[in-house]
C-alpha cells in the first residue's frame, strides 16, 4: 500500500471515529442546586502551577471551611498530572490521574506544560475530550471602559479534536477541522441560555464562514437555528479578523455582550480580550460539560519565571477568578460573591517580577479581606 492509500485509510478511520463520537454527545446535566455534596479535585500542574494553586487551596478551604468540616464538600488532590510523570508514561493524561478526576465532580487545575514538537497532545485537550467539556466560558469585565463580555468557545471540536492526528502524503501535510450538528447546537444553546438568564440582548457569532464554508458555515447556520428559540435576543455575525480588530475599537466594543465562537477562534479572541483587561493573568476560565467541569487560569505554566527565579512572584488572580466561577457552578453563590468582592477590593499588586508583591502576599491579602 502506497503512502497516499495509507493516508486515505487513516482519513476513513478518523471519519468513522467522529461519527461514533456524535452518538455520545447528549447527556443529562448534573444539578448542583440544593447544596448537594460535592467533591472538588485539585491538580497543581507544572511550572508556576503549584505556587498559584497553593493560594487557591488556602482560599477555598477558608471559604468552604464549615462545609468541609461537615463533609458536604470534599477537597481531593489529584496526583500525577505533572510534565515529568506524563513524559515518563508517554501520555498526555495518565490513566490513574484521569480516573481520580472522574471520581470528582469538578476540577480546579493549575496550568500544565505541553512539550514542544507535537509528540504529546495537550493535557487540556485530552481532558476536554475525555470529560466532554464542550463549553469554554471566559468572562472579561472592565467597568471603567464599559466592557462586560462573556465568551462561549466550543471546546471539543474544530481544529483541536484531531489536531495531532493529521495525514501526510508525498510533499503534503493536512490537518482537519471538525464541526458537528450536535456539538454546535449545545454550545449555541449554552450561550443563548446564559444571555437569557442574565438579561443580555445580543449574542455575536464569530466565524470565518466566508472562507471555511463547510465547517464555519455549518456552525453559523446552526447557531441561527438555535437563536430562533430566543426571540428576545439579537444574533449577529462577525468574521474573526474584523472582530479581533473591533475588540480594540473603542467606538464599537462596548456594544458587545456575549460571544459565540468555534474552538480556535475562541482560543485566540479570549486571550486578546484578557490582554485588554490587563493580561492573561487577570482572567479565569471554566470548561463545562453535562457531567464534569474544569476550572483553570487561562495563562500557561510560565517555565521561564522559574528559570529566572521569579516563581514566587506569579500572579494567582487568574486561578482565583476561576475558583469564583467554580463556586458559582456548584451553587455556593455566597462564597463566590465573597471571593469576587475580595478580588475587587484587593490593593496588593503582583507584577510578575521583584517590583511587585509575591503570590503569597496576594493570598494573605485575600484571606484578610475574607475575614473582615
Range of weakest confidence among 64-78, 165-179, 238-252, 341-355: 165-179
Q: Any idea which residue has 486578546 for its cell?
A: 272
Of the two residues 165 and 360, the one the predictor is more confident about is 360
Range of weakest confidence among 24-28, 73-77, 111-115: 24-28
Q: What three-state secondary structure class fits 136? A: strand
Q: Quote the pTM value.
A: 0.85
Percent of the chain's residues with pLDDT above 70? 98
Q: What residues are paired with 237 via a beta bridge?
A: 205
Q: How far apart are CA 143 and CA 113, in angstroms?
A: 33
For residue 300, with 0-12 CB atoms within 10 Å meaning exposed, 13-18 middle and 19 or more buried, which class applies? middle
The pLDDT of residue 216 is: 97
Average confidence (pLDDT) over 156-173: 82
> What is the assigned CATH class of domain 31-133+289-372?
alpha beta
The helix (H) or strand (E) run that includes residue 214 is none
pLDDT tens profile 184-240: 999 999 999 999 999 999 999 999 999 999 999 999 999 999 999 999 999 999 999
Domain definitions of the chain by residue range: 31-133+289-372
pLDDT tens profile 120-159: 788 988 998 899 999 999 999 899 999 999 999 999 899 8
Extended strands (E) in the chain: 38-43, 73-77, 106-109, 135-142, 147-154, 167-169, 172-174, 202-207, 234-239, 258-261, 284-288, 293-297
pLDDT tens profile 281-315: 677 889 999 999 999 988 889 999 999 999 999 99
The pLDDT of residue 175 is: 86
The pLDDT of residue 118 is: 61
The pLDDT of residue 10 is: 84
Range of weakest confidence among 15-19, 163-167, 317-321: 163-167
For residue 99, with 0-12 CB atoms within 10 Å meaning exposed, 13-18 middle and 19 or more buried, which class applies? exposed
- Chain mean pLDDT for the chain: 92
Q: What three-state secondary structure class fits 42? A: strand
The pLDDT of residue 75 is: 98
The pLDDT of residue 21 is: 85
pLDDT tens profile 35-50: 689 999 999 999 999 9
Percentages (nearest 5) of helix, strand, coil residues in the chain: 45, 15, 35
Amino acid at each position: 500500500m502506497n503512502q497516499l492509500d495509507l493516508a486515505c485509510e487513516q482519513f476513513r478511520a478518523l471519519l468513522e471515529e467522529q461519527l461514533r463520537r456524535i452518538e455520545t454527545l447528549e447527556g443529562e446535566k448534573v444539578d448542583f442546586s440544593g447544596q448537594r455534596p460535592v467533591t472538588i479535585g485539585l491538580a497543581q500542574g507544572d511550572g508556576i502551577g503549584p505556587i498559584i494553586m497553593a493560594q487557591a487551596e488556602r482560599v477555598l478551604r477558608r471559604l468552604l471551611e464549615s462545609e468541609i468540616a461537615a463533609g458536604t464538600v470534599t477537597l481531593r488532590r489529584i496526583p500525577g498530572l505533572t510534565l515529568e510523570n506524563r513524559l515518563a508514561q508517554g501520555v498526555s493524561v495518565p490513566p490513574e490521574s484521569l480516573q481520580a478526576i472522574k471520581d470528582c465532580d469538578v476540577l480546579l487545575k493549575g496550568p500544565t506544560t505541553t512539550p514542544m514538537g507535537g509528540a504529546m497532545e495537550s493535557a487540556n485537550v485530552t481532558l476536554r475530550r475525555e470529560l466532554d467539556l464542550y463549553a469554554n466560558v471566559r468572562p472579561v469585565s472592565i467597568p471603567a471602559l464599559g466592557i462586560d463580555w462573556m465568551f462561549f468557545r466550543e471546546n471539543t471540536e474544530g481544529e483541536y479534536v484531531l489536531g495531532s492526528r493529521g495525514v501526510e502524503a508525498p510533499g503534503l501535510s493536512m490537518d482537519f477541522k471538525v464541526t458537528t450538528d450536535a456539538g454546535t447546537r449545545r454550545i449555541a444553546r449554552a450561550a443563548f441560555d446564559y444571555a437569557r438568564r442574565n438579561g443580555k440582548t445580543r449574542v455575536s457569532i464569530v466565524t470565518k464562514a466566508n472562507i471555511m464554508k463547510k465547517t464555519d458555515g455549518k456552525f453559523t447556520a446552526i447557531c441561527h437555528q438555535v437563536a430562533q428559540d430566543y426571540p428576545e435576543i439579537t444574533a449577529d455575525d462577525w468574521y474573526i479578523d474584523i472582530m479581533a480588530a473591533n475588540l480594540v475599537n473603542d467606538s464599537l466594543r462596548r456594544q458587545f455582550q456575549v460571544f459565540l465562537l468555534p474552538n480556535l477562534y475562541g482560543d485566540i479572541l479570549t486571550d486578546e480580550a484578557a490582554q485588554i483587561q490587563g493580561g492573561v493573568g487577570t482572567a479565569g476560565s471554566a470548561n463545562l460539560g453535562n457531567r464534569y467541569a474544569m476550572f483553570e487560569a487561562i495563562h500557561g505554566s510560565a517555565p521561564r519565571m522559574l528559570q529566572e527565579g521569579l516563581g514566587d512572584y506569579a500572579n494567582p488572580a487568574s486561578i482565583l477568578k476561576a475558583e469564583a466561577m467554580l463556586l458559582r457552578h456548584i451553587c455556593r453563590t455566597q462564597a463566590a460573591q465573597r471571593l469576587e468582592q475580595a478580588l475587587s477590593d484587593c490593593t496588593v499588586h503582583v507584577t510578575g517580577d521583584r517590583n511587585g508583591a509575591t503570590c503569597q502576599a496576594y493570598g494573605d491579602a485575600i484571606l484578610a479581606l475574607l475575614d473582615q
